[in-house]
Structure 1
Amino acid sequence: MLKNVKTAIFDLDGTLVDSMWMWKTIDIEFLGRYGISLPDDLQKEIEGMGFSETAVYFKDRFGLKESLDEIKHEWNRMAFDKYQNHVPMKKGAVHFLQQLKDNGISLGIATSNSRELAETVAKVHGLDRMFDTIITACDVRAGKPAPDIYLKAAGDLGAHPDHCLVFEDVPMGILAGKNARMRVCTIYDEFSADQEEEKRSLADYYIKDYEDIKFGTYEVLKND
Structure 2
Amino acid sequence: MGRFDLAIFDCDGVILDSREANRSYYNAILDEFGHRPMTDTELSFVHMHTAEESIRYLFKDYAADVKEALIYSRQLNYTNFLDHLIMEPGVRDTIESIRPPILTAISTNRSTTMPMVIDIFGLDKWFDIIVCALDVKYPKPNPEGIFKILNISGVDKDHTIYIGDSIVDETVSHRAGIPFIAYKNSNLNALFHVEHFFEIKEILFN
TM-score normalised by length of structure 1? 0.77
Moved more, 47-56 or 30-39: 47-56
1:171 aligns with 2:151: no
Counterpart in 1 of 2:9? 10
Moved more, 119-128 or 86-95: 119-128
Pair 1:150–1:127, CA change in 2 (3 A): same
CA contact (8 A) 1:167 1:186 kept: yes
Question: 1:87: how far off?
Answer: 2.4
Pair 1:56–1:28, CA change in 2 (3 A): closer
Pair 1:74–1:47, CA change in 2 (3 A): same
Counterpart in 2 of 1:110? 107
* Counterpart amino acid of residue 4 in structure 1: R
Question: 1:141: how far off?
Answer: 2.8
Counterpart in 2 of 1:132? 128
Equivalences for 1:1-224 in 2 at 5 Å? 4-38=3-37, 40=39, 41-46=41-46, 48-58=48-58, 61-63=61-63, 64=65, 66=67, 70-75=71-76, 77=77, 79-83=78-82, 85-101=83-99, 103-114=100-111, 116-188=112-184, 196-199=185-188, 202-213=189-200, 216=202
Question: 1:158: how far off?
Answer: 1.6
Aligned sequence identity (%): 20
Question: 1:44: how far off?
Answer: 4.9
Pair 1:98–1:50, CA change in 2 (3 A): same
Structure 1, gaps ≥5 residues long: 189-195, 219-224
Give me the CA root mean square deviation: 2.7
Structure 2, gaps ≥5 residues long: none
Q: Deviations over 1:194-219 (max 9, x none)?
A: xx4432xx1111111112345x4x7x
Q: Deviations over 1:75-100 (max 9, x none)?
A: 5x1x22433x5522211110111112
Pair 1:213–1:135, CA change in 2 (3 A): closer
SS at match of 2:187: helix
SS at match of 2:193: strand
**Inter-partner Cα distance in structure 1 for 2:160 and 2:96:** 17
Question: 1:46: how far off?
Answer: 4.6
**Inter-partner Cα distance in structure 1 for 2:124 and 2:163:** 18
Counterpart in 2 of 1:191? none
| Residues matched between the structures, number | 202
**Inter-partner Cα distance in structure 1 for 2:152 and 2:73:** 26
